[in-house]
Chains A and B, each alone.
Chain A
């Protein structure tokens, strides 16, 4: 009987020892699972305006051409929007917007100003 009681006491002691670290020096632990991902996203914002002016009285300067170039990284497929205000008397309308995708990496737009 005493032996059984000793075994029971020892077992209880081991149980207390096993549980105690949760409230003892090692502290209380809990965990969270943080899930993350980065989706493919490419974006270019261009801001600002380019002002071009041609002033000439010579007839040889009729039909001058101004080329506006935009260099972009080869990896980008971008959409470029044009907003062009032509001066009064200009006859060349702004060029149409390029397609939304599949553009070559080097963009250029030619504006022709005529008298």
Chain B
């Protein structure tokens, strides 16, 4: 078969191959879908780890309260809500004569400064009025103080829970 003859066959068959397509197009095929979109409230909070042990080893003569600090850990958050806050609680009150405080830095909210959480078995607010957005690697400062009356305290620990909530 020559090239011209083959081309003729193609030209003859081409309209036939278009028939079904044309028929369908003429009948019409419309499909609709409803797409439902929802953005859930997002509140995520993460810490970088645990602070180093807070050990009072050196008392200062003439001073009743001796304090040590840890600034090793950081927190990051993301939220799509306005006016959220971070609250902190501990699982058990601190021993008598000791004091545990925490301060959280914030660029999107209002930090409450150094907050005493020695007896915060119920949550206390440490950052308020956080606007929607993200904060990364904000400072967490723990301060542990001991009065001379506290005496010697062997190693103990508390679970500090940080909650990002509205």
Q: Which residues of A contact B (CB under 8 A)?
A: 20, 23-45
Q: Out of B44, B46, B55, B157, which one reaches A33, CB within 8 Å?
A: B157
Shortest A23–chain B CB gap in Å is 6
* In the complex with contacts A35-B156, A41-B58, A30-B53 CB distance below 8 A: no
Q: Report yes or no: B161 in contact with A36, Cβ–Cβ below 8 A.
A: no
Q: Report yes or no: A27 in contact with B163, Cβ–Cβ below 8 A.
A: yes
Most chain B C-beta atoms within 10 Å of own C-beta, residue among A20, A23, A30: A30
- Return chain B residues, CB-CB under 8 Å to A27: 43, 45, 84, 163-166
Complexed CA–CA distance, A26 and B163 (Å): 9
Q: Report yes or no: B156 in contact with A28, Cβ–Cβ below 8 A.
A: no
- Return chain B residues, CB-CB under 8 Å to A28: 43-45, 77, 163-165
Complexed CA–CA distance, A86 and B53 (Å): 50
Shortest B144–chain A CB gap in Å is 5
Q: Report yes or no: A37 in contact with B161, Cβ–Cβ below 8 A.
A: no
A-B contact pairs, 26 of them (CB 8 A): A20-B40, A24-B40, A27-B43, A27-B165, A28-B77, A28-B163, A28-B164, A32-B50, A32-B140, A32-B160, A33-B50, A34-B50, A35-B53, A35-B156, A36-B100, A37-B55, A37-B156, A38-B56, A38-B150, A38-B151, A38-B152, A38-B153, A41-B57, A41-B58, A43-B60, A44-B61
Q: Does B134 contact A (CB under 8 A)?
A: no
* In the complex with contacts A34-B142, A38-B146, A39-B56, A23-B50 CB distance below 8 A: no
Complexed CA–CA distance, A28 and B166 (Å): 10
Shortest A115–chain B CB gap in Å is 40
Interface of B is mostly: strand
* In the complex with contacts A20-B40, A39-B152, A41-B58, A34-B45 CB distance below 8 A: no
Q: Does B59 contact A (CB under 8 A)?
A: yes
Q: Report yes or no: A29 in contact with B100, Cβ–Cβ below 8 A.
A: no
Q: Report yes or no: B160 in contact with A31, Cβ–Cβ below 8 A.
A: yes
Which residues of B (81-110) have their CB < 8 Å from a CB of A?
84, 90, 98, 100
Q: Report yes or no: A33 in contact with B43, Cβ–Cβ below 8 A.
A: no
Complexed CA–CA distance, A20 and B100 (Å): 33
Shortest B23–chain A CB gap in Å is 34
Closest to B164 in A: A28
- Return chain A residues, CB-CB under 8 Å to B98: 36, 38
- Return chain A residues, CB-CB under 8 Å to B157: 33-36
- Return chain A residues, CB-CB under 8 Å to B56: 36-39, 41
Q: Does B114 contact A (CB under 8 A)?
A: no
- Return chain B residues, CB-CB under 8 Å to A31: 47, 159-162
Q: Does B7 contact A (CB under 8 A)?
A: no
* In the complex with contacts A39-B55, A45-B61, A33-B155 CB distance below 8 A: no
